[in-house]
Structure 1
Amino acid sequence: MSTLQLSLAIIGGLVLALIVAYNAWMTRRNAPKRARPEDADRERGAEPMLRQEPGFDAGLATGMPLSPQELRSLDRGREPSVAHVVDPTEALQMPVPVFSVERRPGLDPLIDVIATLQPEHVVSGDAALAAMPPTRRAGSKPFAIEGLNEATQQWETPLPGQRYQSFQAGVQLANRMGALNEIEFSEFVMKAQAFADAINAAPDFPDMLQEVARARELDEFASDHDAQLAFLLRARQAAWSPGYVQQHASRLGFVAGAMPGRLVIPARTQGLPPLLTLSYDTQAALADDLDQSAIRDVTLSLDVPQVYRTERPFERLREVAVALCQGMDGVLCDQNGHPLPAMAMDPIAGDLELLYDQLDGRELSAGSVLARRLFS
């Protein structure tokens, strides 16, 4: 072999090696970022125990996921963004008030239609339970029956072994599915009448037209004062693996939610809705090889009326968004994927304070039992 042929062979080998190395580098660069090995085992071991996402209170509205059409924005004309930069560890140090466990909420004339049911004689709890309708809804609205406990003189859901001297039936005036309509009111009357007949009680129903009008007014107020904020965190370059997202989110207080691809910062009181929610593609969360499952964006959201104002959820959202963007090399975007302009969250914060004041003035304070029922 001549010197020229040998040189060409060496050059060709070097070029081939460079091509292989470049392709390997590009593959590694474009592969989803993975969780650090030292944290992976700990996260895999802890995740099953952390799947305890809080839900709505027992006896309230269902807590079914809302469709995108049902989501309302606080200010559709303004694109919010992060207004200041903080150290990622600051999000872990925010004080969150501890709230006592609330009693089960009862019917309230502020958001419920209530009909009195007066039996001729005291009724046992067992008899009342046997007469209960099979479903606790009238159309899309929660329906409930309560009894006045003869011993405690407190209204409660009938219990076995107790005695009740009076009853009341109620249906919620409005929720995020809309206002109570005539058909739902009629279904409420039918259910309450059937229960009254079973326990030999005389029902007293309010006027349908007045209650439907009241429902529309309440629904209009709720529509004007609902705020469900959502932001996209999008990868700048390489995509993220589910483990990578979970690793960074867990450092900020997120735990695994009830559904794949959903992480939450839980409320301090068990059973209350989460403070913040971080969600990503469910298919990516269920992939066979999670290290190769690519996620290019996650959604960070806050359901404002569901969380106590004193927990400062919007401030926490801002700090979490900054920390995640810094830690994962991401950029904060609006729901359409457009990068958000700087210093746009302060006006939103001001609007939220006004919203909180208006909810307080209507006795529907954010995070309260009534607000959680109405905005569900």
Structure 2
Amino acid sequence: MTDLQISLIGIGIAIVIGVIAYNKWQEYRARKHVERAFSDPVDDVLMKTDQADGKPERREPVLGNASVSEEPPGFAGSEPRLVLTDNDGNETADDVIPIKVPDVPVDELIELTIPFNPEESFRAEKILPHLQSLRYTGNKPVRFLGWQEGDEGEKNWQTIVPGNSYRQIEACIQIANRNGALNEIEFSELLLRLRQIADAIGAEPDVPEMAEVMEKARRLYQFVSDHDAKLGISICSNGAPWQKVTLNTALEKQGFESRPDGQFVMRDKENGGVLFTLSTNELPASETATRLTLLMDVPCVAPEKEGFSQMIQCGKALCIRLDGALVDDGNQLLTDRFLEEIAGQVNDFYREMQEYSIPAGSARALRLFN
């Protein structure tokens, strides 16, 4: 090896060492800059500082006295259970969820409960201002229930009202709706707000494991997205466009209720629930319309209401009254045979929702498909 080669090797080694040293120095400067910028530490809801030696101690969160897959009180082992699959269609033991609605006002299937361990009994007047400050995390509703002072035997969870004392309270968070599942950001923000409330009222929340909550929320949302069905039919004019004044009169005689947004609603005569809606497909300022669309939110209408049958009868009556034709989105005429096939599919849809213990039109379904 010549002197030139040895010199080049030495120069190369020196350059490499210089680059490494420069990078280390830059990392040290950046770390010091960050430490100075964030020198005021923020408490982590999952971390606690050991006062004895100052070392952080990881606190593994738990879900009350039960895991996600355990049955809540009142569930018999022989009760039917809801099984939701993963993206590959596989079923596992963790995917089993009790399907019977508990007698207490907590829906274990669609809600996450986070109990608070109090230092003493809660007075409603003291805690309500803090609890009422948290109503949603993202677009998922949050509510609080209390176990009233003096109740004996099994816990009787009820809405917190002034004048009462409560041995325990718990936050109930809906983990999914048709807008999506509870996600990591929403869950983290929820824990931060619950920690603030807990500090204000003197309590300690039992926080569940995030991974388990996210998985349960994802599986529930998968069901919701698979059954988020809206069924529509249209009425097209056979001649000249309809005048809005004439059209509104005809719709009122048919039993529709007008709304400020320009849509019309057909309500159930028994409980006032919405069976289906009607849209003119025109801007509010428009004076005419040539097409009407009837739309039914299938999971929100109970089978016994016969919403689809009523929507078809209403559509046919409007066709006679307005000289129109019943068509689909592609302007193909809807024959009675085709409508019967659709009705059969709607009945199959209802049976499937019933099997999953989320009956169409039930309080649970209305909360999920809001």
TM-score (norm 1): 0.65
Q: Which residue in 2 is equivalent to 1:55?
A: none
Q: Which residue in 1 is equivalent to 2:295?
A: 301
Q: Which residue in 2 is equivalent to 1:198?
A: 200
Q: For residue 140 of structure 1, what is the amino acid of its counterpart? A: N
Q: Which residue in 2 is equivalent to 1:251?
A: 253
SS of corresponding position for 1:302: strand
Q: For residue 114 of structure 2, what is the amino acid of its counterpart? A: A
Paired positions, count: 264
Q: Provide, for residues 30-54 of structure 1, a one-character-per-residue CA deviation record: whole Å limited to 9, x for no partner.
A: xxxxxxxxxxxxxxxxxxxxxxxxx
CA contact (8 A) 1:143 1:188 kept: no
Q: Which residue in 2 is equivalent to 1:98?
A: none
CA contact (8 A) 2:144 2:171 kept: yes
Shift of 1:315: 0.7
Q: Does 1:137 align with 2:136?
A: yes
Shift of 1:301: 0.7
Q: Which residue in 1 is equivalent to 2:368?
A: 374
CA contact (8 A) 2:182 2:217 kept: yes
Q: Which residue in 2 is equivalent to 1:262?
A: 263
Q: Which one has the largest radius of gyration?
A: 2
**1:186 aligned to 179, 185, 188, which one?**
188
Shift of 1:120: 2.0
CA contact (8 A) 2:121 2:168 kept: yes
Q: Does 1:327 align with 2:321?
A: yes
- Shift in alpha-carbon separation, 1:245–1:150, aligned structure 2, 3 A: farther
- Shift in alpha-carbon separation, 1:197–1:109, aligned structure 2, 3 A: same
Q: Does 1:126 align with 2:106?
A: no
Q: Does 1:316 align with 2:310?
A: yes
CA distance in 2, matches of 1:206, 1:167: 16
| Structural mapping, 1:80-95, within 5 Å | none
Q: Provide, for residues 320-355 of structure 1, a one-character-per-residue CA deviation record: whole Å limited to 9, x for no partner.
A: 111111111112232354544552122221121121
Q: Provide, for residues 145-191 of structure 1, a one-character-per-residue CA deviation record: whole Å limited to 9, x for no partner.
A: 22223367643332222222211112211111111111111122222
Q: Which residue in 2 is equivalent to 1:114?
A: 113
CA contact (8 A) 1:133 1:191 kept: no
CA distance in 2, matches of 1:128, 1:156: 15
Q: For residue 274 of structure 1, what is the amino acid of its counterpart? A: V
Shift of 1:304: 1.1
- Shift in alpha-carbon separation, 1:149–1:241, aligned structure 2, 3 A: farther
The structure whose RCO (Cα within 8 Å, separation 6+) is larger is 1
Shift of 1:192: 2.0
Task: Say what the alpha-carbon RMSD is for the aligned residues.
Answer: 2.2
- Shift in alpha-carbon separation, 1:200–1:242, aligned structure 2, 3 A: same
CA distance in 1, matches of 2:365, 2:329: 25
CA distance in 2, matches of 1:155, 1:245: 50
**2:212 aligned to 207, 210, 227, which one?**
210
- Shift in alpha-carbon separation, 1:358–1:163, aligned structure 2, 3 A: same
Farther-moved stretch of structure 1 (295-304 vs 124-133): 124-133
**1:233 aligned to 232, 235, 251, which one?**
235
CA contact (8 A) 1:148 1:165 kept: yes
Runs of 5+ unmatched residues, structure 2: 1-103
Q: Provide, for residues 258-293 of structure 1, a one-character-per-residue CA deviation record: whole Å limited to 9, x for no partner.
A: x242111223455x6411111224633x46xxxxx1
CA distance in 2, matches of 1:107, 1:335: 41
Q: For residue 307 of structure 1, what is the amino acid of its counterpart? A: V
Q: Provide, for residues 103-125 of structure 1, a one-character-per-residue CA deviation record: whole Å limited to 9, x for no partner.
A: xx943110011111121211111
Q: Which residue in 2 is equivalent to 1:279?
A: 279
Q: Which residue in 2 is equivalent to 1:12?
A: none
CA distance in 1, matches of 2:162, 2:182: 31
Q: For residue 368 of structure 1, what is the amino acid of its counterpart? A: S
Q: For residue 196 of structure 1, what is the amino acid of its counterpart? A: A
Q: Which residue in 2 is equivalent to 1:9?
A: none
CA contact (8 A) 1:106 1:155 kept: yes
TM-score (norm 2): 0.66
Q: For residue 314 of structure 1, what is the amino acid of its counterpart? A: F
Runs of 5+ unmatched residues, structure 1: 1-104, 288-292
CA distance in 2, matches of 1:223, 1:230: 18
SS of corresponding position for 1:283: coil
Q: For residue 149 of structure 1, what is the amino acid of its counterpart? A: Q
Farther-moved stretch of structure 1 (167-176 vs 335-344): 335-344
Q: Which residue in 1 is equivalent to 2:145?
A: 146
Percent identity, please: 33
